[in-house]
Amino acid sequence: MQKPYPPVYYADYLQLDKLLSCQNPKSDEYGKHAHDEMLFIIVHQAYELWFKQIIHELSSALNLFSKEKTDEKDLGTAVARLRRITAIQKVLIEQLNIIETMTPLDFLDFRDYLIPASGFQSFQFRIVENMLGLSIDNRVKLDNKNYYSLVSDEHQKLLLDSQNNLSLHQAVDKWLSRIPFLDIGGYDFLLEYANAVTRMIGNERDIIINNPSLSDEKRNRQLDEFENTKKKFEALLDENKHNELVASGNRRFSYRSTLAALFINLYRDEPILHLPYRFLTYLVDVDENFTTWRYKHALMVQRMIGSKVGTGGSSGHHYLMQTAEKHKVFSDLLEIPTFLIPRSELPDLPDDLRSRLAFSYELK
């Protein structure tokens, strides 16, 4: 049976006439053709296409998490969306190797024609940051200006709308806070975990004190590090201290969400926690990949222009280096490994809870 769809031609479907007519070097407009400007344009256009796809994937994930209840099927879909984003990010990072085939002198052939345009004006990338949940308080300002001040009025509206919408960070925080396994059927995860931590910390301190191979100086240094780690555990085990960290901007997840993320990481081997663990891992991967991309971008800019001011007026690679460090979104998840304890020290879960975590069912 013939399908009721008209035939489609490849070039028409991809609108190649439009796509391939979008590369218009400024150097040609001024009658001073710069060969590498074509590469510069195509690489950045490719970036914008990939940003569009990332926004498409994030929109889907956010739609799944905007519901009151996120079921296992939705979580599996969200994992697939994030996995695709991480694959795209690897391409973004590799594209820097392509643009680095252009030498600094090649770039100088057309650089002045671009002023004041800058990658800082990529409104799509700023939307990606907002959708992930980059806090405006954590954004590195350019010349003391808000990140949306250097784009057109039309793009400012898009950025402000995305800033005010539900972010993935907010959605994940709410989802984690609803996870029921922290206190169920008389089981108190925090109490059991605190007891295990107390035992572990006591053992670690004894090991440092009784280690005959340590000099007094090294022993004192290790004891200082031990005390710092102990304070972090104390902040985790005390909701008031955690809330103080949230108020000071050093934590973003709620206390219950933090404990839920820890529970998932500690008991990741339980069948029902496989997908939640993969989901949290991909969130960290997305953060890490963008940090890597920003860092490599900063090195590329330094290689191209040295300590010159960027075309958009920024401090070049210094500004980009700052964003690599400060524009992390899921930093709370990056702190979770601090609080992991060995599997051998993990408190045993009650049989009824372990049964729930194993998709248990009975034949009637």
Residue 310 lies in a domain: yes
Q: Does residue 362 lie in a domain region?
A: no
Side chain identity at 21, as an amino acid letter? S
d(CA 310, CA 318): 10
Q: Which amino acid is at 324?
A: A
Number of structural domains found in the chain: 1
The token duo for 195 is 């007891």
Residue 214 placed within a domain? yes
Instruction: Please indicate, yes or no, if residue 111 is contained in any of the structural domains.
Output: yes
The pLDDT value recorded for residue 241 is 93
The CATH number covering residue 222 comes to 1.20.58.480
Residue 202 pLDDT exceeds 70:
yes
Run of H or E residues at 201: helix 189-210
pLDDT digits (tens, 9 = 90+) for 91-114: 999 999 999 999 999 999 999 999
Residue with more model confidence, 73 or 260: 260
Q: Whole-angstrom Cα distance, residue 243 to residue 235?
A: 9
Q: Is the dihedral of CA 306, 312, 318, 320 positive or negative?
A: negative
Residue burial 26-50, b: 16+ Cβ < 10 Å; e: rest = ebeeeeeebebbbebbeeeeebeeb
* Residue 3 domain-assigned (yes or no): no
Distance of CA 110 to the CA centre of its chain: 34
Predicted structure pTM score: 0.91
Q: Is 2 inside any structural domain?
A: no
Residue 239 lies in a domain: yes
1 located within any domain = no
* pLDDT given for residue 260 in this prediction: 96
The predicted structure's pLDDT at residue 363: 45
Q: Which structural domain range is residue 255 located in?
A: 10-356
Structure confidence at residue 71 (pLDDT): 76
